[in-house]
Structure formats: C-alpha cells, structure tokens
Structure 1
C-alpha cells in the first residue's frame, strides 16, 4: 500500500492493534459502500486505501464516532471519484458494464444481496447522477437515516429526502423486474453452457427471450461488440461465433455466483477471461451482460477475501 500524496509506502498497522482498529472492524461495510457507489472492485479498494490513510492521519482519540467518520470519508471519496468518472465514461469504447464480483456460493440464496449488488442493479445505478447514487446506496441499501446521510454530505435532511425520493423513483422505473428461483436459474444456466459448448444454435435460441439484448464490455482493449445486440438469432449467432474463434479455443464455461446471482464465467486454464450475467423471465434469458475487459476482470476477487458488501437486510432505520 502506498501513500498517494508522497509516493512512500503507507504505514503498516500494528498487528497487535488491528483487532481493535475501527477501520478493520468496519472494512466489510466500507468496501460494500464503495463498491455499490462505484461498481468497481479496483476503485473500491483504492477508496479504502485512501480512507485508511486519512483515518491514520487524524487524532483518533478526538473522533467520537469512528464508524460514522469512516463511512463519511468513504462516501465523499467515492462521490469525488464518481464525478470524475462520468467524464471518462463519456469517451468509453463500447458499452460500459460494472466490474463483476465473485460472491460466495451461499449468496445466491440471499435475496437482499442479489437485488442490491446484481450487475443489473449496478447498471441502473449508473444512470443516476453522483449525488443521487450516493444517497440511494446509503439510504436504500445500507439503511442510513436522512439525518445521518445529511451529516455525511453536509446537506439538510430535508434536501437528502428529496434526493432520495427522486433517485428511488428513477431506480424503480428502470430496475429489472425478472425473478427466477434457484432451481430454475440453475437449469437455464446448465442448458446455456451445454448449448454454447456444443455449438447448438437451435438449443441456444430456444433459451433466449424474443426481446433478448446483449451488452458486451471490452473497453476497446479486446475484441467486443461495440453496440448492443438484439434478438435471439443475432445474439445466439454472435455468442457461438465467439466460441468458435481460434482465440477462444480451450475456453470453458463454468457456473459461478457473480454479484449475488448464479451466472457463468469463461476460463482459459486458471485464468478468468469473461463473466456473463443475465436476467431470466419465464424460463428464458432476457438480458445478457458480458464482461471481457481484462482490466475489470483483473480486479475480480472472492468476497471472502475482499470483505465484500454486506447490505443491511433490515431496511432503512
């Protein structure tokens, strides 16, 4: 870990004090907050590094509420990162998709996790302006009060309430409304992988909804569709075409829980080369989000290793 301002290695915390360090205690919450706000594992870890430096630069004896101080720090760092990221994404090559996060297998049963950290939801959150996104995440995902959020952002609670109402309305109008139980999702996933491995166009088309759309994020680094693909025939032929390319030889598809939902990842040996998430409606795949940008896949990590998000399952306080 390096100090961003000096370039020198950041001080390493005393292992004897780590167990009582509020930053260590609340790291899962801090990572979850940053990841929900940014949609990127790498950016979330950068935010945590900056927050750690700030935390250890203050007189902690004077911090009355360490958890609130840390959440406020992460919130404002993420808000600054979101504001600058909007300009960068305007010149992004092809569709932009969030950075996937591999989550534990039991997370597929955690409805709250799947709803708040799913790739589909992160795509919706991307349509909010930075302040709306921050307020929505703090209020609707982690359950902070309007007064608490106002304290984090230095805004009146009444203003935060208005922002929250606007953000929630926007999200509800755009959030995915597709549901599939674990058994149905597993069946569709297995059939999808079998059709892709077997090059079976008809079987693959039968799995795709008539209005299916595929978004493919290569970031201009690897070959990817630069515009969304629509319709079963177009989408199925494109997927099988990718699987048939010489560069794809040796790629195997495997089931994995990505962002809280059973999904599919592409592996080349031990290397992850793609993450594919999708919505299922009436037993068919409705939306497909295919992440192949290597810079985003480099940051994919197991939730247990990164202390990934644990949203508040009790709702707003």
Structure 2
C-alpha cells in the first residue's frame, strides 16, 4: 500500500484544488476520498512524486465532474453561488485575503469552460506546470497555456475589484452587521457602494430574489424584507471566516434557518454581497458550534 503519510501531507492542498474547481464542499470531500482510495491501492514506492500524482488524480476527477455540474447549474433557480466554507475568525497577524477562494471569485470562475477553469486554478493558483495540466484536460501543453491565458483575461475583466487588506474588509463587515442588526438602514446606506450588487442563492428551496439586486437603495430595501424573518432579540449574528475573508452568519434560535454572507469591499465600501440561504448548501456547517 502507498504511504499514508505522503497522502496526509497533501490532503489540505488536494481539498483546496477540488473545492476551487467544483465550488462544492461535498464534491471536494468526495474527490479527496476517491483520490485516497486510488492511492491506497498503489504498491508502496510505485510513485516517485506523490504530489504530482495526487494532483493529477484529483484534478481529473473534478474536471470530469464539472461537465455534469454545469448542466445542473444551467437549470438552477436564481443565482448560483458556491457552498460557503465557514470557519472561526482568522488570526490577527493575517493581513491579506485569499482572493482565489472568495465567493465572488468562484462565481466568476463559473463562467469559464471546465478546461479553462481547471487550467487557471491549477496553474495560476497552485503553480502546476502546463505539461501536467495537459494530462488532466487531455490537451497539449501549448493549448493549456492558451486556456489559462483566456481564463486569466476573463477573470481580470470580470472579477470584483476588492481590497486585500483584512482590516479594511473587517471594518466594513462590522459596520454592515451593526446596521442590519440595529435596523439602522441609513447607516447601511453609508457602508454600501452606490452600485452594490446583492446576490441571493435560495436554489428554489426558500424564498429569495431570483435576480441580483443592484444599487444601494434597492439593497437596503431588500435587506429590510430579508431581516423580517429573523427575531432580532433571539437570533445569533456572528462574524466568521467565509471563504477566507470576514463574513457574517445569521442563525435563528432553533438553528432551522441560516444565512451565510460573503462580501467584496473596495475603498471602505461594500461592493458585492453574496448571501447563501439554500439549506442544501449549508448542511455541512455545524450550526451548533458557531
């Protein structure tokens, strides 16, 4: 059997690759498990470069999965957002944000072809050589280079312009939370960019806006309607890490309703709000531990 220690050293990186390619926590976990099963069946010492081998295996699994996933998402009700990753707040000495895993960035990656997305993530985020990526997507290295270049241009054109300063981002999130919880909607206007975009992913499972809400005043009115479903005296409102940046989690007293907010911030103002309320996309979150 191949060495377990070699796999465990790569586990976190493998999950990161899988999540960025699929945008799904469940699919990423399934891909890591399948990669382990294939690794486990190998004779000890057969693979000279475990990192390269494991990267290729999990990338192929996720690349193959993207085709069917895209077909499902084309019939998805309302905006599609990735399954959010929620963790405890990051250490204070972290001063920058990981843009590659943000909800807004992953939403942009959804507009790429599976080959473009895979090439971009593997090369630009994880520094995988084009030759190895070619083995994953079944193209030549030159073709993969072009795929990554096209994807890079599109990401640069469509990704939100946002701060990478955690302090600036956190201050905007704290102001958002204080305004929403306090019902201070004039204060909320002050923290929103005039052209702010709010996307709500309900997936047809719960009531949600089926189109993005654009503009600060419309976003304020929409947030007022959304908050009517929560009792401000009993709900839990928490700042947590949401996909590598400070975000907000709202939970009702019984833990039966939850909203996870991710934000893009620029110039001290919130430019994008991504709200995931589809309960199927929140099943992996342990609400009791928040």
TM-score (norm 1): 0.82
Q: Distance in 2 between matches of 1:216 and 1:54?
A: 38
Please give the residue correspondences for 1:10-159 in structure 2 after superposition, counting only pairs within 5 Å: 18=4, 20=5, 22-103=6-87, 105-106=89-90, 109=94, 111=96, 114-159=98-143
Count of residue pairs the alignment pairs up: 285
Q: Distance in 2 between matches of 1:249 and 1:226?
A: 29
What secondary structure sits across from 1:30 in the alignment?
A: helix
CA drift of 1:110 comes to 5.6
1:187 aligns with 2:210: no
The answer to whether the 8 Å contact 2:95/2:167 transfers is no
The answer to whether the 8 Å contact 1:107/1:114 transfers is no
CA RMSD of aligned residues (A): 2.4
Q: Distance in 2 between matches of 1:39 and 1:70?
A: 19
Q: Distance in 1 between matches of 2:286 and 2:20?
A: 15
The answer to whether the 8 Å contact 1:72/1:153 transfers is no
The answer to whether the 8 Å contact 1:217/1:291 transfers is yes
What secondary structure sits across from 1:286 in the alignment?
A: strand
What secondary structure sits across from 1:35 in the alignment?
A: helix
The answer to whether the 8 Å contact 2:173/2:263 transfers is no
What secondary structure sits across from 1:287 in the alignment?
A: strand
Q: Distance in 1 between matches of 2:106 and 2:283?
A: 19
CA drift of 1:173 comes to 1.0
The answer to whether the 8 Å contact 1:146/1:160 transfers is yes
Which residue does 2:206 correspond to in 1?
222
Q: Distance in 1 between matches of 2:155 and 2:278?
A: 26
Which residue does 1:234 correspond to in 2?
218
155, 162, 172: which one aligns with 1:171: 155
The answer to whether the 8 Å contact 1:110/1:260 transfers is no
Q: Distance in 1 between matches of 2:118 and 2:252?
A: 37
Q: Distance in 2 between matches of 1:60 and 1:173?
A: 46
Q: Distance in 2 between matches of 1:219 and 1:226?
A: 9
The answer to whether the 8 Å contact 2:181/2:232 transfers is no
CA drift of 1:250 comes to 3.1
CA drift of 1:102 comes to 2.0
What secondary structure sits across from 1:105 in the alignment?
A: coil
CA drift of 1:218 comes to 0.8
Could you give the per-residue CA deviations for residues 258-287 of structure 1, whole angstroms, max 9, x where no partner exists?
A: 111111111234847111111122222111
Which residue does 1:287 correspond to in 2?
272
The answer to whether the 8 Å contact 2:130/2:144 transfers is yes
- Structure 1 residues 153 and 110: CA distance shift in structure 2, 3 A: farther
